[in-house]
Structure 1
Amino acid sequence: MTKNELKYYSSLQKKKHRKTEGKFPVEGAKLIREAIESEFICEIVFYTHLFEDKYGEFLEYLKFKGCKSELISQKELERLSDTETPQGIIGIFSEKNVSTSNANPQFLLALEDISDPGNMGTIIRNADWFGLKKIIASNNCAEIYNPKVIRSSAGSVFHIEILFSNDFYDLLAGLKKDGYIVLTADLKGESIYEFTPGGKIILTLSNEAKGPSDKLKSITDKLITIPGGGRAESLNVASASAVLISELARKI
């Protein structure tokens, strides 16, 4: 690897460079495999001697898939990684163009300003687990190709369609005209256990520090909540997403 190549690939740790180049790094054999199997285009995979000694069969898998790979030093790998203890292998992938022409499923998830990468990734993972196919996100949500989002999603970012919208609220309002009911999670809502959806639904989750915006509430058909019996102030939004998605998916 040349110095210029090292500088270029390490720059992809920053959002602005990922956006400009349309590329992102994926660290770890499991996540790299998830990206490849989800038909993301792999530009190159970098690995160390230590990884080669322990997991040579994975390098054979890369060859079988036609992925270019290159041996680099541990110091070079550390430059490419955002973790304190790199896993010894990092792949560079191209972003996928999201198609908006597909029919919308009966159950959609919409995210308003979920800015924490860990929460964003976990919500995506939960949605994937319960079979959701599409997520709509406001532009203030954490970028899905952020390495922390990819890790916390456990690769689910590669399985589910995620549409970032410049017209988030207008899009939701338009979907209402198509027969969707907009449900918004809020501490003052109706119990999720007592609510029964009557058709197509959009579950909206918001930034846990701010709560749902007035603009979102203005297009919401019903506020829903998870009743609690303890002394905690609230549930983490990612934890809440698992309960809400599970309960709604069961009832649809």
Structure 2
Amino acid sequence: MNIIEGRKPVLEALRSGRTVHRIILAQGIREDAVIREIMELAQRNSISVQWMDRQEISDLSSGDVHQGVLAQTEAYRYKTLESIIRKAKDRQEPPFVIVLDRITDPQNLGSIIRTAEGCGAHGIVIPRRRACGVTPAVVKASAGAVEYVPIARVVNITRTLNWLKQQGFWIIGADMEGNPYYLTDLKGSVALVLGSEGRGMGRLVKENCDTLVSIPMMGRVQSLNVSVAGAILMYEVLRQRRDV
């Protein structure tokens, strides 16, 4: 059983057409515009709505941040990297993918997904092992953006980078030793690589990047949270492409 928690994630799951088996709402929940739309979409798609007290909902969820709204859905369906690239070509846009190397924190992954959707990235690549997958916590942290950003799961990030190079991608790694990001041309087919929260990119992943970019730091703290750094770099890609 796959659970989605929270008003916005549940609403976006319904809007996106994801298969939803059941909606669970807290008894006495305030019926604002979001709740009304959830109930309308459930009725329109013949999805049952069940009312429970908040403690029962907390027992089903991963914690107490469900906002009184749950959805039981089909398991998340990962996409292939080939389909992500095909999506970009169908739009006649240079492909832009985010490659994540051993990101383990669900909040960071969810935030990266949310930013990727906002800046128009075509997809995200994550490893199968030693990394966070699409969990209920990730879905909630993404505020439902996970429903609109294709995510591919691969066995080996290094081999995937080499395959992307063969497809004409320029591999850009985020690293403190890199050149200032705004000096790098990001307008072509780009794979932006973000490393793990504590250690950054693995050695082989780093060695297989075509170039490294950094974010200048003027204060005493010498690094940014990976989701914040990723947001800065993703929107630089968007800025350069819109300025063409």
Both proteins in one fold, TM over 0.5: yes
Letter in 2 for 1:102: S
Which secondary structure state, in structure 2, belongs to the residue aligned with residue 44 of structure 1?
A: strand
CA displacement at 1:97 relative to structure 2: 3.2
CA contact (8 A) 1:135 1:160 kept: yes
CA displacement at 1:208 relative to structure 2: 2.5
Q: Can you give the 5+ residue segments of structure 1 that lack an aligned partner in the other structure?
A: 1-22
Which secondary structure state, in structure 2, belongs to the residue aligned with residue 243 of structure 1?
A: helix
CA displacement at 1:64 relative to structure 2: 1.9
Q: Which residue of 2 aligns with 1:75?
A: 55
> 1-side partners of 2:19 and 2:234: how far apart?
31
> 1-side partners of 2:168 and 2:17: how far apart?
33
Distance 1:50 1:103, change over 3 A: closer
- In the superposition, the TM-score normalised over structure 1's length comes to 0.84
Q: Which residue of 2 aligns with 1:142?
A: 132
Which secondary structure state, in structure 2, belongs to the residue aligned with residue 215 of structure 1?
A: helix
Letter in 1 for 2:8: K
Pairs within 5 Å for 1:74-153: 74-84=54-64, 86-100=66-80, 101-102=82-83, 104=85, 105=88, 106-139=95-128, 140-144=130-134, 146-153=135-142
> 2-side partners of 1:98 and 1:27: how far apart?
19
Q: Residue 10 of structure 2: which of 18, 32, 41 is its match?
A: 32
RMSD across aligned positions (CA): 1.8
CA displacement at 1:37 relative to structure 2: 1.1
Deviates more, 1:99-108 or 1:238-247: 99-108
Distance 1:239 1:90, change over 3 A: same
Q: Can you give the 5+ residue segments of structure 2 that lack an aligned partner in the other structure?
A: 89-94
Which secondary structure state, in structure 2, belongs to the residue aligned with residue 196 of structure 1?
A: coil
> 2-side partners of 1:198 and 1:25: how far apart?
38
User: RCO greater where, 1 or 2, for CA within 8 Å and sep 6 or more?
Assistant: 2
Distance 1:60 1:38, change over 3 A: closer
CA displacement at 1:34 relative to structure 2: 0.2
Which secondary structure state, in structure 2, belongs to the residue aligned with residue 216 of structure 1?
A: helix
Letter in 1 for 2:22: I
CA displacement at 1:152 relative to structure 2: 1.4
Distance 1:161 1:232, change over 3 A: same
Q: Residue 243 of structure 1: which of 223, 232, 239 is its match?
A: 232
Paired positions, count:
228
- In the superposition, the TM-score normalised over structure 2's length comes to 0.86
Q: Residue 148 of structure 2: which of 130, 134, 159 is its match?
A: 159
CA displacement at 1:85 relative to structure 2: 5.0
> 2-side partners of 1:76 and 1:30: how far apart?
20
CA displacement at 1:30 relative to structure 2: 2.2
> 2-side partners of 1:198 and 1:249: how far apart?
8
CA contact (8 A) 2:6 2:140 kept: no
Q: Which residue of 1 aligns with 2:198?
A: 209
> 2-side partners of 1:172 and 1:84: how far apart?
39
